[in-house]
Chain A
Amino acid sequence: MYGIELRVWGDYACFTRPEMKVERVSYDVMTPSAARGIIESIHYKPAIRWVIDEIRVLKPVRFSTLRRNEVSTIISASNINAAMKGTKSIYLNTNKDRQQRATLMLKEVEYIIKAHFEMTQKAGETDTPEKHYNIFLRRARAGQCFNQPYLGCREFPANFELVEGHTYQTIKETKDLGFMLYDIDFKQNMQPVFFRAYMENGVIKIPDELQRRVNR
């Protein structure tokens, strides 16, 4: 089992609470699901499965707000079909379909994600753990990525750096963060899975039980 530590930071972040997603409100800290997304944007193959072990918070939790004009509609399959047949033209009318929505986002965040991966059943003969571990290290060291990782939403990009031989101080805060999204269980019909998140001296440990069960 190979573990990695990745330091990620950025000016803004929004790890949207699912119960408050109309006017987006961020969780206090990064969710394991968002952390997985960041790591997978550096290296992922169906042969491996990333598991988040720990999230360390390096900067105090601060919020900021922002209101933007957004649209509510999403593209529907039937409309595209109609357009392909030439019976309908498709576009979004941003004047009629406008919503103003606020975002309560985090400011100046910095985390260390501690994670490891396991091999899945899709692994072929050439998929050794060493291979994937080294690919990840190489990419993270060189700043390579599949796409630029982001902190919850794509407009909040994440800078990243592999943590090697350097220790970082977490914030000295201990807090019950309440129920927080662990991840979406894609194998159980996209069911969201929650856990009780505790931050102890800036460290959030992810329960083993969920890591073994969800998306296995």
Chain B
Amino acid sequence: MAIEKRYEFVMLFDVENGNPNGDPDAGNMPRIDPETGMGIVTDVCLKRKIRNYVEITKENEAGFNIYVKEGVLLNDQHRLAYEHYDLKPTEKELPKDEKVAKELTGFMCKNFFDIRAFGAVMTTKVNCGQVRGPVQINFARSIDPIIPQELTITRVAVTNEKEKAKGGHEMGRKQIVPYGLYRVEGYISASLAQKVTGFDEKDLELLWEALINLFEHDHSAARGKMATRKLYVFEHDSILGNAPSHLLFDTIKVFKKGDQPARAFNDYKIEVHKDAIPESVRFIEK
């Protein structure tokens, strides 16, 4: 049973001495808006982490496969095979096109969490070959301008004979943001869930869980200390919703306390203007 209510969410996450999202255009420096100096984390970066979370927590569960993977071949063959008996195999002859296409996309939505949530481009002729998923995520942006820092590091081992002959240590570079609090907003369309991918309550719970624990299983040398600090959810009481999303997002304001550069989550103050939220929208703090 697909979800029956529209949702919006605001998530705050921070980074301490790490690089939340490198920019391939700038030698892997943290992404930055050149005009304002605000840090950016792309939507696809966060979606990758959601996929990773679901992949590790739901490893053996049918219906929670992840389509877009990072090169790990898990043995999901047999899982797919028994799932398929729920669906009629494609008929050899007519009816062609639309019915077959629906069956194929249905199969993909049923098996893959990421397709159910985010959609996918499939060459199956329905809706120009695209399945739009209900979950839509913005770019995350830092509250204040970030000042990325480049650290030079050394390694005692060297790569090859030539380097060895030169003597000394090899040098490397590491880019970090000393501290940054980022805000990201997202939308979940109940109508797309119902009409297209079948994203249900269980999937929704998993998505919240994934957002809360997004960085817990994503530690690495490059990321530093990252954590989800707050997740605010706006639950409308209907499929189409009760209020414009931008007004809901505006009810959450984040300020920096004092004049010093922020170095911790405590340096920020969050104000939630609950009185500006219509009664028909349930505000949930996760």
Residues of A at under 8 Å CB distance from B? 11-12, 64-71, 74-77, 80-81, 83-86, 88-96, 100, 102, 107, 139, 142-148, 150, 154-157, 159-161, 190
Q: Given A69-B44, A80-B124, are A144 and B242 also a contact pair (CB < 8 Å)?
A: yes
CB B86 to nearest CB in A, in angstroms, measures 10
Chain B contacts with A in 161-189, Cβ cutoff 8 A: 185, 187, 189
At the interface, is chain B mostly helix, strand, loop or mixed? mixed
Using CB atoms, name the residue of chain B closest to A78: B123
B240 & A74 in contact (Cβ 8 Å cutoff): no
CB A84 to nearest CB in B, in angstroms, measures 4
Q: For B107, list chain A residues within 8 Å (CB).
A: 80, 83-84
B123 & A74 in contact (Cβ 8 Å cutoff): yes
CB A78 to nearest CB in B, in angstroms, measures 9
Q: In the complex, what distance in Å separates the CA atom of A67 from the CA atom of B90?
A: 40
B23 & A67 in contact (Cβ 8 Å cutoff): yes
- Say yes or no: is B71 at the interface (Cβ < 8 Å to chain A): yes
20 intermolecular pairs with C-beta atoms under 8 Å apart: A11-B138, A66-B42, A69-B24, A74-B120, A74-B122, A77-B100, A77-B101, A84-B80, A84-B84, A84-B90, A86-B80, A91-B67, A107-B35, A143-B244, A143-B245, A144-B241, A148-B187, A155-B42, A157-B185, A190-B128
Q: For A81, list chain B residues within 8 Å (CB).
A: 90, 104
Q: In the complex, what distance in Å separates the CA atom of A66 from the CA atom of B43?
A: 12
CB A161 to nearest CB in B, in angstroms, measures 7
- Among the 9-residue stretches B129-137, B203-211, B212-220, the one with 4 or more Cβ atoms under 8 Å from chain A is B129-137
Chain B contacts with A in 206-247, Cβ cutoff 8 A: 238, 240-247
- Say yes or no: is B202 at the interface (Cβ < 8 Å to chain A): no
Q: For B65, list chain A residues within 8 Å (CB).
A: 91
Q: In the complex, what distance in Å separates the CA atom of A203 from the CA atom of B28?
A: 40
A75 & B120 in contact (Cβ 8 Å cutoff): yes
B123 & A143 in contact (Cβ 8 Å cutoff): no
CB A208 to nearest CB in B, in angstroms, measures 26
